[in-house]
Structure 1
């Protein structure tokens, strides 16, 4: 590539235009084509031979492509701003990239800018008769650029331009028009086996303007093979509105897909950066949080259940790590190479949760603009983790039972049943047997899930794990928050060990995040960096332990107990000796003397 000329640089992103042309890249990206373009960047899709092929985010990419009409060849260098690869099991998926331009070859930047300024929507028209040509030109000539063809092979060539947004199928021959619709639908399905991927989203919208039986038109529309049907003779305003709407809808879908892929990629990257994960290849028993005797007993049960398809029910207080344990079960199973799908059943209404789990068909309810496969279908061959399953309704529990027993999934509003092979792991913060007795949970589903139950002990019953987890979270937040906390000071470690942890591991994680943020550069995390409520509660527990299990002679233990009683009384009465003495029913002078002997802080009044 020659030395770059001064490219057109804009301070803000310019408007994107649709552009569907082949793009040659270096490093090579197999099956690469553009989907949209602006003065400052380009959106690409590709089908690389693997996740390692082509540039990664932040790397440079050289591109060459041809602009429609002018046939100008553009050579440009850019930086990959984001990249989204499909899941490994998604054979029909494509890789999407967003690339920002930073240098053009020669005057190519000017050529691109001229193309974008002159850009108009292109509409292809096939089989139009002489009587229809005038009507089409009157309605559309000042709004779009029309291209007329008569043969199906010419339609393929025209659509291959890459900038046609709509196709009008005209004429009086119903059989010929319907055959072309079916042929184009077949080609889209071959390029996009899922029926919902980029190939169909980026194909021109078809407006059917030929005769056909109403029932046939409804069938074609419901199958997504045509965008709209118009009956000749054409009313100019209605025809123009239909064509412009089809073109806008294509642009909107393209932009939605681009934005969705970029957002999904950013979310996945953020989760990978922030979420504490299990080290691949490591012994689970050596992971932080699994080293106490209580958790080792849990792991013994997990190792028994993990290799088998048996449903597992995890029970324990909130924050004890049920999702982490579900991931351990999946990792130790024969399904570890497949998907693990997680759904919190307490965050959605019954209707939304049913749609999310089982999917829905287009038109099943308001807002169902496309088929949605559902999490059970996405988890086929893998594992689904249903957290807070106690929050599901009896109606939904009945459908879950059917999936457990038969593997059959039927989407909301659909008639076809799909068979899936999914291993279910459920979790509950409550005792499900008590929920069954109270009539809030179906007994048949409970007994189906209860085939293998694992109870997770709360953190207060596994003190051996507290400091291990604390140091793990400290290192994790040092990395993700870009901090340099040097470790745990003794006073902080003592507070963590004395705390009751009603929020369990989740509470410990949040405490360590706060402490890392409050600590200075290369400073030890100390008790003052921990939440005051946690420190106060831990101090109360420590005093109680001293009273019950203090060491030393009887005299020493009685002295210590007296000191703690007087300290509590002073704290409750603002350090005023007279008020503390009244509460303890003793002489203020005597109490004052003992306060001084124990070295406690007090006020005179």
Structure 2
């Protein structure tokens, strides 16, 4: 085995930052890369002790994924040095330097291409012939230079988004100062709050033209230039200034990456707080899923969960659509990734678009920093969009684009990011009715409607009421530190007889109130339940009253109207569900609803 010495003077062996997780053999716990070159890699790890992992001079097999391209690199190396901290407390960091000596397949070429394609780009504007030669001699072996003659060409170049430093050259002081002021004003427009001297993603400006010293100090203090260099340039000083300015961009980029990773890890941890279910788990033993109708719902969930198909959950408010979305996520192959939940009815269109797709700094008033958006945070996982019927047609078109292509573009941005996200949507209303009424885009509905699951209201699944009530009672005893001993027989009868317009959410709040009102080791009785619930549960169903006057035909018409009215009230005004309960064709029932003047009940 030949050990290749580090040669930092060679550009291709220059180490560049790389922050990715590395899988090693022998295993090293918590192993991450911190820098990389064609010939080696720097690692940090948190082993359980100095005996874990390879020692100096020993071979090591590694596998890691390159950013952006997502190419998987497999390589063998030898540990050149290893430093273990004196204190071997939990979380102590070990550092290692590893030299490569063998890549799998063409992985060495892939890594070389990655390192070449990710060189630093530096722009120079107004550079004259003599300056061009000096800049090339000092910088071309370290960065990729781009020369532009006019501000318009510079705008085009900066629009690429990969320029890390800008050299303002030439002998015309007025022209150079005007360009600096112009770039500063553009940054101020991008950041209307004035927070910070410059955009954190703007290339640093190195002023290399003549200027009055007091003016240079003023520009520097205002944050409009990073450094001033007086021609003629000393190559080493110029190189150090450019590399230092370029490292600023790398640092900011890494800070953004780390912040994004922290957010995603937080979402993953929240998803793991819920009980883990395997595809064979008996979900029907969970409270609220034991009635025959909910067993049918869960059968549909088991069919849809393992696949990437979009799922649409429809049901009245409070029926447990978010709970079912979490079950779908936990039964899918994405359960180790993030589940992101967003209520589409809680924000305005502008804020919801920013929350879902992200925004760039300065996209609107108050956007003082870049925000990645929930679709980016959910990459690889699942996003649950509740009350999707409240979205606007403009936002619906953007959701459709994500569903069809996976492309996400932040508000105010130009770069498009491709994500792999499974979408689960939910609606309190019948989306088919919303499409017919012109309030929801048909193309988005048909994409979401590939697998629809209807959640029945609680009044249609009485077998689940007491099961859920006892579950909530135990839950609130624990969380509220109470000791209610159970439900009395009368309380159970009232709970079963109630209509529950707020469904499971209303039942949950009812039991929470009852637990708070109960004493130590006391049964929950009628007096602990909400008075409105007790009165509605005790009152019999309203009988159909038909006037004694009129012909038999008129009296039958009146009775039909009352029957349809009651069915619509019981099913939240949804004609399709009312028709199913009355065993009628929905189109026929719709005609009769209009004939009886009950259109208001459809909404």
TM-score (norm 1): 0.50
Partner of residue 188, structure 1: none
Q: Is the 8 A contact 1:210 1:232 kept in 2?
A: no
Instruction: Select between 506-515 and 226-235 the one with higher mean Cα deviation.
Output: 226-235
Aligned partners of 1:308 and 1:484: how far apart in 2? 43
Q: Is the 8 A contact 2:378 2:421 kept in 1?
A: yes
Distance in 2, matches of 1:504 and 1:430, equals 15
Aligned match for 2:214, one of 205, 221, 234: 234
Matched residue, 1:530: 529
Q: Deviations over 1:323-350 (max 9, x none)?
A: 1101111111111111111111101111
Match of 2:321 in 1: 322
Equivalent-residue separation in structure 2 for 1:338 and 1:269 (angstroms): 6
- Which whole-Å CA distance do the structure 1 matches of 2:407 and 2:220 have between them? 46
Q: Could you tell me whether the CA contact under 8 Å between 1:485 and 1:516 is conserved in 2?
A: yes
In the TM superposition, what is the alpha-carbon distance from 1:315 to its structure 2 partner? Answer: 0.4
How far did residue 507 of structure 1 move? 0.4
Match of 2:388? 389
Secondary structure in 2 aligned to 1:384? strand
Residues 375 and 268 of structure 1: CA distance in aligned 2, closer, same or farther (over 3 Å) = closer
1:411-467 per-position Cα deviation (integer Å, ceiling 9, x unaligned):
112222211111111100000111011100011111111111100000000011111
1:56-92 Cα offsets, whole Å, 9 max, x none, are xxxxxxxxxxxxxxxxxxxxxxxxxxxxxxxxx9x99
What whole-Å deviation, never above 9, does each CA across 1:456-482 have from its counterpart, x for those lacking one?
A: 000000011111111111111111112
Q: What is the CA–CA distance in structure 2 between the aligned matches of 1:432 and 1:340, rounded to whole Å?
A: 24
- Residue 510 (structure 2) aligns with: 511
2:201 corresponding residue in structure 1: 224
Deviation string 1:483-519 (CA, Å, 9 cap, x unpaired) is 2222212222111111110000000111111111111
Q: Is the 8 A contact 2:271 2:338 kept in 1?
A: no
**In the alignment, does 2:487 pair up with 1:479?**
no
Q: Distance in 2 between matches of 1:228 and 1:235?
A: 15
Residues 381 and 443 of structure 1: CA distance in aligned 2, closer, same or farther (over 3 Å): same
Report the counterpart of residue 337 of structure 2 in structure 1: 338
The answer as to whether partners of 1:217 and 1:229 remain within 8 angstroms in 2 is no
- The separation in 1 between residues aligned to 2:306 and 2:341, in whole angstroms, is 19
Q: Are 1:362 and 2:361 counterparts? A: yes
Gaps of 5+ in 1: 1-27, 32-46, 54-88, 93-171, 184-205, 247-252, 546-605
Which runs of 4 or more aligned residues in structure 1 lie more than 4 Å from their structure 2 counterparts after TM superposition? 28-31, 47-50, 172-176, 206-213, 215-223, 225-232, 235-243, 267-273, 277-282
Shift of 1:283: 2.2
User: In structure 2, do the counterparts of structure 1 residues 229 and 473 end up closer, same or farther at CA, with 3 Å as the change threshold?
Assistant: farther
| CA offset digits 1:216-252 (Å, max 9, x no partner) | 9669965635678887523699579648xx9xxxxxx
In structure 2, runs of 5+ residues without a counterpart are 1-28, 33-43, 50-64, 69-130, 144-163, 171-175, 188-197, 227-251, 544-603
In the TM superposition, residue 540 of structure 1 has moved relative to its aligned partner by 1.1
Residue 308 (structure 2) pairs with residue 300 (structure 1): no
- Could you tell me how far 1:49 is from its partner in structure 2? 4.6
CA spacing shift, 1:342–1:269, aligned 2, 3 Å: closer
Aligned 8 A contact 1:315 1:453 in 2: yes
Once residues 399 and 487 of structure 2 are traced to their aligned partners in structure 1, the CA distance between those partners, rounded to angstroms, is 46
In structure 2, what is the Cα distance between the partners aligned to 1:179 and 1:469?
Answer: 70
- Contact between 2:408 and 2:416, CA under 8 Å: does it hold in 1? yes
Shift of 1:392: 0.6
- Partner in structure 1 of residue 571 of structure 2: none
- Once the two structures are TM-superposed, the CA of residue 358 in structure 1 deviates from its matched residue by 1.1
Q: Deviations over 1:570-597 (max 9, x none)?
A: xxxxxxxxxxxxxxxxxxxxxxxxxxxx
> Distance between the aligned counterparts of 1:229 and 1:356, measured in 2?
36
How do residues 88-103 of structure 1 correspond to structure 2 at under 5 angstroms? Answer: none
Residue 210 of structure 1 deviates from its aligned partner by 8.7
Task: Using the TM superposition, give the Cα deviation of residue 383 of structure 1 relative to its aligned residue in structure 2, in angstroms.
Answer: 0.9
Aligned equivalents of 1:473 and 1:416: distance in 2?
A: 47
Matches within 5 A, 1:209-220: 214=179
Aligned residues: 356
CA distance in 2, matches of 1:481, 1:268: 26
Alignment of 1:147-226 (within 5 A): 214=179, 224=201
Q: Distance in 1 between matches of 2:392 and 2:216?
A: 53
Q: Distance in 2 between matches of 1:478 and 1:29?
A: 39
Tell me, what secondary structure is at the counterpart of 2:411?
coil
8 Å Cα contact 2:267-2:340 kept in structure 1: no
Residue 520 of structure 1: CA displacement? Answer: 1.1
Q: What CA distance in whole angstroms lies between the structure 1 residues aligned with 2:322 and 2:293?
A: 18
Query: Structure 1's 519 and 207: CA in aligned 2 closer, same or farther, altered over 3 A?
Result: farther
| Alignment match, 1:600 | none
The Cα RMSD (Å) is 4.7
